[in-house]
Amino acid sequence: MSSRPLFELILGTDRRDPDVANAGQQPQGTYRRRRAPDDTKHHDSLSRAWGAHLTPHISANLGPYVSDIPSQLLFVEDQRDAATQVGSDPRYGKDNVRVYKVHRDEAAGTQSVTEMTVCCMLEGQIEESYTKADNSVVVATDSIKNTIYIKAKEHPVNPPELYASILGQHFLDTYPHISAANVSVVVHRWTRMVVDGKPHPHSFLRDGEETRNAEVRVTREGIEVTSGIAKLLVLKSTGSQFHGFVRDEFTTLPETWDRILSTDVDATWKWTTFPTLAALKEKVGAFDKAWEDARNICLKTFAEEDSPSVQATMYKMSEKILEAAPGVASVSLALPNKHYFEIDLSWHKGLKNTGKDAEVYAPQSGPNGLIKCTVSRS
């Protein structure tokens, strides 16, 4: 792509380094300068009329190369190369596709439901849709949305790792110019109601914002799968401590041997790459088991450990998940530390509400600590 010269009328004095100027070199940015006809009267009128307006622009854009005081008329031509190219991995697709599927067990007289939000992004030989406005390589995002629904009808949506892999593989099998499909599935929680001590056959409640997640990347080399839990909100009123940390002139936080600990568990675990969809289907039972094990491990470890720090607790969780799921290569955790501060009420009739007497706290929406780690097999 050839560059088109940009001309700008400015007032100023050429203050390039003499050595650079004598060598015929241009200052950084490559400006070519041509002196306007020597018309003192015209120059003076321009200086008076436009000097105040142009001087800040000159200073900001040409720095030491042009004086702050207008003294001569110059044309500036930007000769920089304007060639561009699309980045290494352009992708596009459909996001926020909401899907609900019901499974009816006629023999048992019960129904099960799954609600999920799906995102599907495609990669491949699609650069010309950006650079040449050539839509012949574009699978319309509306078609992607339709495919999400059709594959949900044709195949199981549980576990989400399997559904995402089937969906991604479809795009590679159907469109030769597509080299990768990135599918994200967020499963929203619907828990069967218990009525009069019995599970209800077709009624459910949402008992939290927790989600089960799957991130799948399907390429012609294999299938990468990352499973996860997000927004699992937990709290314990004791059994947590934090002391021995760095203390210096910036520190106001007191040490504590007993505190409230609350967090939103965000845990992901990355599986060893599956070479084919068939290989993934052979291990499909491992996905539900790993999710159940990971969830139980996080809850049990959180509840039972007298936590010395969030860092130590999350590392222990990660180790146990790796032990429980041999097909998992690494585990990542992100735990925000949601603070609950004691309230000093001694100003009101000497009311004691700190230390061992603390009962009323102020939950904090922010700021909060945020601790992350990834633990991999050695």
Asked whether the beta carbons of 167 and 194 are under 8 A apart, the reply is: no
Residue 253 DSSP class: P
Distance CA 147, CA 141 (A): 10
Q: Is 339 a catalytic residue?
A: yes
Q: Is 141 a catalytic residue?
A: yes
Neighbour count for residue 161 (Cβ, 10 Å): 29
| Residues facing 256 on adjacent strands | 242
Q: Which of 145, 270, 338, 339 is catalytic?
A: 339
Residue 308 DSSP class: S
| HSE, side-chain direction, 13 A CA sphere, residue 12 | 26
Q: Is 281 a catalytic residue?
A: no
Q: Which of 94, 145, 151, 320 is catalytic?
A: 94
Q: Which of 110, 117, 141, 219 is catalytic?
A: 141
Q: Where are the beta strands (DSSP E) in the chain?
A: 6-11, 31-35, 73-78, 92-105, 110-124, 178-188, 191-195, 198-205, 211-219, 222-236, 261-271, 328-337, 340-342, 361-363, 369-376
State the catalytic residues.
Answer: 94, 141, 339
